[in-house]
Structure 1
Amino acid sequence: MRSLRITTNLPVADIDEAKSFYADFLGLKTEEFNLGWVARYASPDSDAHVQLVTGDATAPEDSVISVHTDDLEGAYAEAQRQGYEIVHPLTTEAWGVRRFFVRAPDGNVINIVGHKD
């Protein structure tokens, strides 16, 4: 699998309350999106970014990182071939991404995501 970008998913109780720390103090002022349960904030001057997550809308567990790839189906097939636990099956979500969750051998849940072109 080729990883194009990796985003940290930080658990927070309330995105609006957490936003001021990440936007004002850390300088991640650009809100790339906000779905209410997940929001991504980025630096307008660099590649720095983070996602704040209150609880995934469709998956049974929250992920610790999101890994963006250009071959999502290939990554899914490889995860299955290697016997990794699929926590959330390959799904096209209502908000426009296609993704699946896989559990790493260390127990961390990873969101593998591909964006529609």
Structure 2
Amino acid sequence: MRVTKMLVNRPVADPDASRAFWQGMFGLDVAFDLGWVVSLHPPGNDTTGVQLVTGDKTAPVDSDMSVGVDDVDEAYAIAQREGHEIVHPISDEEWGPRRFFVRTPDGTVVNVVAHPH
């Protein structure tokens, strides 16, 4: 399994104002906007960025960060083998990605995700 990207997920009350800040202040581009999550990245670099989240629509909790991987099933097997708490089971989401949430020992909730190619 290889990590392909790492993103910070920030809870926001006003996604439009937050998007305007990140675009105006840092020149970030919108990679996608699902209404409840807006993903912004530096131009030409989709491996890092910030995601503005008003509330995850399919998971029981919001995640603190997202880690993109090339093999989410392998990552899930590692999490289970290592005995980490799975917060949201592996699932295929209607908007495309396959993902699960895992909690770190300090309580950080990580969205581990693979996007279809």
Global fold match (TM > 0.5) = yes
Query: Normalised by the size of structure 1, how large is the TM-score?
Result: 0.92
Partner of 1:41: 40
Query: Normalised by the size of structure 2, how large is the TM-score?
Result: 0.92
| Aligned-CA RMSD value | 1.4
Partner of 1:32: 31
Change over 3 Å in CA distance of 1:55–1:82 after alignment to 2: same
Unaligned runs of 5+ in 1: none
- State the SS of the aligned residue for 2:20: helix
Partner of 1:82: 82
* CA positional deviation for 1:2: 2.3
- State the SS of the aligned residue for 1:76: helix
Matched residues in 2 for 1:116 and 1:46: separation? 18
Partner of 2:18: 18
- State the SS of the aligned residue for 2:27: coil
> Identity, % of aligned pairs?
53
Deviation by residue 1:30-86 (Cα, 9 ceiling, x = unmatched): 211000110111222656521111111111111111101111111101101111111
Unaligned runs of 5+ in 2: none
Corresponding letter in the other structure for 1:43: P
Corresponding letter in the other structure for 1:74: E
